A and B are shown apart, each in its own frame.
Chain A
């Protein structure tokens, strides 16, 4: 699994990318067993239509390029597309917004529904090294800053403790008719993110936000992997 991830990272570095695209980021995550949304990378409208049939409506359409880390701000995301007509419409809008010179691809994604959003991140602390972050996701990450850190490698107990130590930890319990979140999946994902950081010093940051809890199971819906600037001395030490 490490080698699959390594190939993706090496190819991106060779192309001078500073980040992995969402699609590439998720290939790295899934290589380590982090659950991700079903999705197909396409480059044309007809490919998008075929992909949507495979993924099954409703779908999400996103611009997908290593240069487009801020898809939402640029309006390169259309969610809950219930029909082919809606997909075609969205494809036109997003292509237009991306601009004439856009050379990226598009991502047709299953629409993951669930009202609980969480996040997993990783950054390299100058003293402790790779540190895994867990917290409330979506807009609440910024608003509430309800996050907790552990230093990689994480043991199972560390991961369990993390899930319990955010203020909003009750979001993972059975609430308002929703089942309790599957903690094993979350623990595995937290440990996996730590392991990715240890295995790949070229990765500077990981941001999986949000993971949506569908039923009881978390699924990574958006992800970004930032690569280390090779010129920045000691950035990966």
Chain B
């Protein structure tokens, strides 16, 4: 299994069956994507017309290809899939990605075709990703089989397993343009005719490039194996799951999307808990939580401190922490004394830290910097959120002190969020995130993330 997963995620050679010279067609975008990703392996293209596409020689049939090409990406229509899989199997290809849709997710005819495909896969001796998938991405190998235009994907430590093509398509484009974290692997499972979430989870669990695992699933193909594999992997690495189809209406949509039938939701809930997998409830958390783990560590617990330029935040964000199962504990005495040094005497400094008065007295960098340093070394605190107040009039400080202090305390995550002038916030996010400090545009978001990470830490404890 490990060998064939290598052929999927680090192929030395790959062929595209159904390569096209027409811009925008999947058979063309795949080839461009590989080139744009910087793929260094050998690329073989197949199209009955022959000739040349994107500078590569085109073979007229699978028969003409050399033997034992590591991986094949098939962009042909669904009806041709079974024969193509057999032909590739004969040529010794062990890893096949099937893009075509029109199988069990559509109708009875599609279901019959999928059964035929499954039989063909067994005969071929190859493993298949899909059908009905956008493909997969492997950044350390500069490789992608996706037919969604992607470009150069930033490398990181987060890996995705999704029963949707979004994370090799539009959601990946969102990550690449709106966020500044990188990914290691991403895989769209499609209809899971062969490979399923367990195979990927097992591979990611043993994969040195992957530090945290995020899943979006509409069904679990082999529930008992999932429980076994997830239990093991979730002890070593943070594993998160957004389960689509949790509501009745959502479950009905899942049948149309990937042909998934819902198991009893309450049993699934229990099994996910047993598996040590941390449950996500929001799609955007698939980015927000991932971003936190790409550059910062998992907090040791749920004890939070935050620096706030507004009294209202100290109050309402404490309420939010409470509702999210986060503690806002008392600080150590020495921390309070230190905070008081820069504060006006009429403000009693404590957690959460009302920083407004100190900023007025000693300036932005000194007030925030000293307070952040103080709470980071406090033994009662596991993580810190810094709420920045940025406007042209009050000035925009150099924010390197946050980066430096975070580096000094690597076991305690530091996140930044903002209130003030939007253009400064956006610029600050870009600056800080590229230096490894996750930023969140809405004040509640970093707390939601910390809450999920604290649950994850709990789930990972030896049981």
Q: Is the CB of A148 closer than 8 A to any CB of chain B?
A: yes
A150 near B220 with CB under 8 A, answer no
A150 near B266 with CB under 8 A, answer no
Range of interface residues on chain B? 10 to 19
A125 near B274 with CB under 8 A, answer no
B266 near A129 with CB under 8 A, answer no
Q: Is the CB of B227 closer than 8 A to any CB of chain A?
A: yes
> What are the residues of chain A within 8 A of B227 when measuring CB–CB?
128, 151
Given contacts A155-B463, A157-B463, contact A127 B270 (CB under 8 A): no
> What are the residues of chain A within 8 A of B270 when measuring CB–CB?
131, 148-151, 162
Q: Is the CB of A161 closer than 8 A to any CB of chain B?
A: yes
Residue in contact with B267 in the complex, picked from A131, A154, A155, CB distance below 8 Å? A131
Residue in contact with B266 in the complex, picked from A126, A148, A154, A158, CB distance below 8 Å? A148
Q: Closest residue to B222 on the A side, CB-wise?
A: A127
> Complex Cα distance A50/B336, Å?
73
Beta-carbon contacts of A139-163 to B below 8 Å, as 1s and 0s? 0000000011111001101100110
Q: Is the CB of A17 closer than 8 A to any CB of chain B?
A: no
A151 near B267 with CB under 8 A, answer yes
Q: Closest residue to B263 on the A side, CB-wise?
A: A127
Given contacts A128-B227, A158-B274, A161-B273, contact A149 B267 (CB under 8 A): yes
> Complex Cα distance A129/B263, Å?
11
A127 near B220 with CB under 8 A, answer yes
Binding site secondary structure of chain B: helix
> What are the residues of chain A within 8 A of B274 when measuring CB–CB?
150-151, 154, 158, 161
Q: Is the CB of A80 closer than 8 A to any CB of chain B?
A: no
> What are the residues of chain A within 8 A of B463 when measuring CB–CB?
155, 157
Residue in contact with A165 in the complex, picked from B263, B271, B273, CB distance below 8 Å? B273
> What are the residues of chain B within 8 A of A155 when measuring CB–CB?
463
Q: Closest residue to B231 on the A side, CB-wise?
A: A155
Nearest-neighbour CB distance to chain A for B433, whole angstroms, equals: 36
A150 near B224 with CB under 8 A, answer no
> Complex Cα distance A137/B264, Å?
21
Q: Closest residue to A150 on the B side, CB-wise?
A: B270
B223 near A128 with CB under 8 A, answer yes
> What are the residues of chain B within 8 A of A147 when measuring CB–CB?
266
Q: Is the CB of B269 closer than 8 A to any CB of chain A?
A: yes
> Complex Cα distance A155/B227, Å?
13
> Complex Cα distance A129/B223, Å?
9
> Complex Cα distance A157/B220, Å?
23
> What are the residues of chain A within 8 A of B264 when measuring CB–CB?
125, 131, 149
> Complex Cα distance A126/B268, Å?
11
B263 near A126 with CB under 8 A, answer yes
> What are the residues of chain B within 8 A of A126 when measuring CB–CB?
263
> What are the residues of chain B within 8 A of A158 when measuring CB–CB?
273-274
* 11 contacting pairs across A/B (C-beta < 8 A): A127-B223, A127-B267, A128-B268, A150-B270, A150-B271, A151-B267, A151-B271, A155-B463, A158-B273, A161-B273, A165-B273
The 9 residue pairs across chains A and B that have the minimum distance between CB atoms: A149-B270, A157-B463, A127-B223, A127-B263, A150-B270, A125-B267, A128-B223, A149-B267, A131-B267
